[in-house]
């Protein structure tokens, strides 16, 4: 799902949940007047783009208050994490790190019902490229640049002194 889908009624919400099957559904309960809701909206949209097997929904609590009440939403923003029409967890507040971590925790990669089956193929029938993240084999992956400078200076000094 490339972009979060705006829900406009209880029946549309129910249909989205039942259509998702076993896939993760993340619901952003927001309000147009809510500053933190507006601040975290780009993070939510980015997560929707980077997790194509999850279904991301947006519910304006003022326009679709029945859905908000049914989901026990008492603060904005609230993010609900749902699988098989069962709420797993709710996050209240605009904490982008916690939101990312919960999406990662619950997204097991199962596509919504009606998704495309199979692993796919590339042109010419080759198997898809490796999904190893960039830098996975790099022993310095995650080391901050400012921590590398002293190591480089020491290595250069030793090479200068010890070089025959």
CA angle centred on 21, ends 92 and 7, rounded to 5°: 50
Of 37, 55, 59, 102, which residue is the catalytic one? 37
In the beta sheet, which residues pair with residue 59?
7, 29
Q: How many angstroms separate the CA atoms of 17 and 25, rounded?
A: 7
Q: How many angstroms separate the CA atoms of 44 and 79, rounded?
A: 10
For residue 107, give Cα distances in angstroms to 53, 84, 87, 135. 8, 13, 14, 23
Is there a contact between 122 and 129 (Cβ–Cβ < 8 Å)?
yes
> Is residue 34 among the annotated active site residues?
yes
Structure tokens at 82: 């749902």
Of 20, 23, 34, 57, which residue is the catalytic one? 34
- What residues are labeled active site? 34, 37
């Amino acid at each position: 799902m490339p972009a979060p889908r705006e829900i406009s009624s209880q029946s549309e919400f129910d249909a989205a949940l039942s259509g998702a099957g076993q896939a993760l559904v993340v619901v952003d309960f927001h309000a147009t007047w809510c500053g933190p809701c507006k601040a975290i909206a780009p993070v939510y949209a980015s997560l929707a783009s980077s997790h194509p097997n999850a279904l991301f929904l947006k519910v304006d609590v003022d326009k679709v208050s029945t859905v908000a009440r049914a989901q026990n939403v008492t603060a904005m923003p609230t993010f609900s994490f749902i699988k098989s029409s069962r709420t797993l967890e709710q996050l209240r507040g605009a904490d982008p790190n916690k939101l990312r971590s919960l999406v990662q925790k619950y997204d097991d990669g199962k596509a919504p019902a009606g998704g495309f089956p199979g692993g796919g193929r590339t042109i010419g029938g080759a198997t898809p490229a490796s999904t190893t993240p960039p830098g996975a084999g790099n022993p310095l992956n995650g080391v901050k640049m400012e921590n590398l400078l002293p190591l480089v200076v020491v290595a250069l000094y030793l090479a200068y002194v010890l070089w025959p």
